[in-house]
Amino acid sequence: MQVYKRSNSPSWSKEAAIARSASLVRKPFRLLFPFLPLLLAAFALRAWDFGNPVLDLDEQWYLLVGDRLLRGAVPFIDLWDRKPVGLFLLFAAIRSLPGDGVVAYQVAATLSAGVTAALIAIIARRSGVGLRACTVAGLLYLLSASVIGGQGGQAPIFYNLLVAFSVLLTTRLPALTRRNGLTPILVNGVVACGVLGAAILMKYTAAIEGAFIGLAHLWTLRRAGRSWGETAICGVPLALAGLAPTLIAVGAYYIRGPEAFRAFWFANFVSIGLRRSYPAAQAIANLGSIAGQISPLIITAAFSIAKYARPLRANPLRLITAGWLAAALVGFACIGTFHDHYALPLLAPLAVVASPALDRSKVLQAGMLLVSLAIYAGEWLSRPYDAVAARQVAALVKRVSGTECPYVFMGDPITYYLADSCIPTAYAFPNSLAQRIEQGSTGIDEAAEVGRILHGRPPVVITSDRRRTIWNVQSRRVLDPELKRNYRLEMVVPRGKWHTLVYVRRDLSPA
């Protein structure tokens, strides 16, 4: 019988025990990487804007609707918009936290951006990229997001996290394929599609990325030896998982009755087809601006695809991330208007696809970081700080309005929130009644609704001196004579490249 001596065994040596102890100490730090550094970077890049209530028009609206949901308002009925209901539910949950809501949603968005950047680094790491390049990819995501409208709480800042997590689950497919088991692949797919379904309830274009995730799992089942029939049957639970959140929302409005269901259906699935298109020249200019702002990611991703095309074909994980980028590009192209924040869903897949090229060159890493920092600094320095003026407007509105409802024809919807005032119309998002592009897409006569609001004699009317080409001309024909007859210009404050004009009803005392 062979006898093993404990004292001579390497596993029992003092050095091995010390090494195991050191490994246990290092393990928590490995678990925190890359989350901790990228979270810190997210706060460093975004904390400057905490408390600014006018970072972007859209997120002002989300917070306002979230606040009114907590008071009993129903989206699409009491407050009209075409965004999915999940986005408003998210902001309602954030609004329920302590504080005034503005800082709360901005901190939540920062956490979401930081964790998304960490998931980008983890996905890149799984495809064989070094730690340094993975971290740089995450940093490029954070920097690029901050220059194309993602410095606050735009919808993609939140749902990019869900999409990235779904893709992270999808990167398990090569390992699951080797096990040749149907159940692990199917369970992974149901979870990934379910997570993506939550993203769809914040922005419907995420359904394109969801379709890619589902198809990737079905293709994996075929590679694992399943028949076409089995694969088709497995597609049913994947589709149901992805559609479940939206189906629940549809069912909730259906239960409320025919009128509520019609309002929901029109806002979510009909009105977008009635929206007018932007001039081609403006769309092209917007596209060029986006390309310049996120050029470090675009250039590096293009270089990565061109230089490492053969490894891309040989590496299943990189095929998955390339498919993710293709799906995000299709979703971006479907919108067509090319506002800068519409490109936010492109950033995460671009960063992951760019990571192999970053891994091959420290010079490229440093160069792209420096260029991105320069773009970020230029954008931050050129962006006007309108928070003080916005709060001044809200204070005036609050003093003058009393229990009456002011009307923001063109301006910041956050004014209703900051002034804690009532809202005179369900179409309170300013663009709905004031802008030419929305004319005919709301399902009502926009000019008639403006007339109805003004007939109620709001104590304050807020508008803008923006260029005339954006206006709904019929709405302005109703507004302008009323302002001239019954209102006086009380306050003018800067807002971006233009000014906010605050009119007070003539029978009210000056503020």
Which among 252, 188, 194, 250 has a CA at the least distance from the CA of 224?
Answer: 188
- What pLDDT is recorded for position 79? 98
pTM over 0.85: yes
Which among 287, 282, 265 has a CA at the least distance from the CA of 333?
Answer: 287
Report whether 482 contacts 509 (CB < 8 A): no
Q: For the sheet with 498-505, list strands across it.
A: 407-408, 460-464, 498-505, 487-495
Other Cβ atoms closer than 10 A to 321: 27
Which among 41, 58, 114 has a CA at the least distance from the CA of 348?
Answer: 114
65 pLDDT above the threshold of 60: yes
CA dist., res. 123 & res. 116, Å (int): 10
For residue 315, CA distances in Å to 128, 171, 226, 319, 356 come to 9, 11, 22, 6, 12
Tens of pLDDT, residue by residue over 90-108, are: 999 999 999 889 999 999 9
The kind and range of the H/E element at 224 are none
- What pLDDT is recorded for position 291? 94
Backbone angles phi, psi at 178, to 5 degrees: -65, -25
Q: Which residue has the tokens 């995420």?
A: 206
Q: What is the mean pLDDT of residues 71-80?
A: 97
- What pLDDT is recorded for position 6? 42
Long-range contacts of 315-319 (CB under 8 A, 24+ apart): 315/127, 315/128, 316/173, 316/174, 317/123, 317/126, 317/127, 317/128, 317/171, 317/174, 318/127, 318/353, 318/356
8 pLDDT above the threshold of 80: no
CA dist., res. 210 & res. 166, Å (int): 9
Which among 290, 85, 344, 350 has a CA at the least distance from the CA of 204?
Answer: 85
Tens of pLDDT, residue by residue over 306-348, are: 876 565 556 788 889 999 999 999 999 988 778 899 999 999 9
Q: What is the mean pLDDT of residues 279-289?
A: 87
260 pLDDT above the threshold of 90: yes
14 pLDDT above the threshold of 60: no
- What pLDDT is recorded for position 264? 97
Q: What is the mean pLDDT of residues 285-314?
A: 85
9 pLDDT above the threshold of 50: no
- What pLDDT is recorded for position 308? 65
Confidence of residue 81 (pLDDT cuts 50, 70, 90): very high
Structural domain spans, the chain? 28-382, 387-505
Residue percentage of the chain with pLDDT more than 70? 91
CA dist., res. 239 & res. 223, Å (int): 20
Report whether 86 contacts 158 (CB < 8 A): no
The upper half-sphere exposure of residue 234, i.e. CA atoms within 13 Å in the direction of its Cβ, equals: 26
Task: Give 71-93 as a 3 state SS string.
Answer: CCCCECCCECCCCCHHHHHHHHH
CA dist., res. 130 & res. 186, Å (int): 30
Does residue 34 have a cis bond before it (omega within 30 degrees)? yes
The upper half-sphere exposure of residue 140, i.e. CA atoms within 13 Å in the direction of its Cβ, equals: 36
Q: What is the mean pLDDT of residues 177-203?
A: 91
Confidence of residue 302 (pLDDT cuts 50, 70, 90): very high
31 pLDDT above the threshold of 60: no
CA dist., res. 65 & res. 61, Å (int): 6
425 pLDDT above the threshold of 70: yes
24 pLDDT above the threshold of 90: no
- 8 or 441, which is more confident: 441
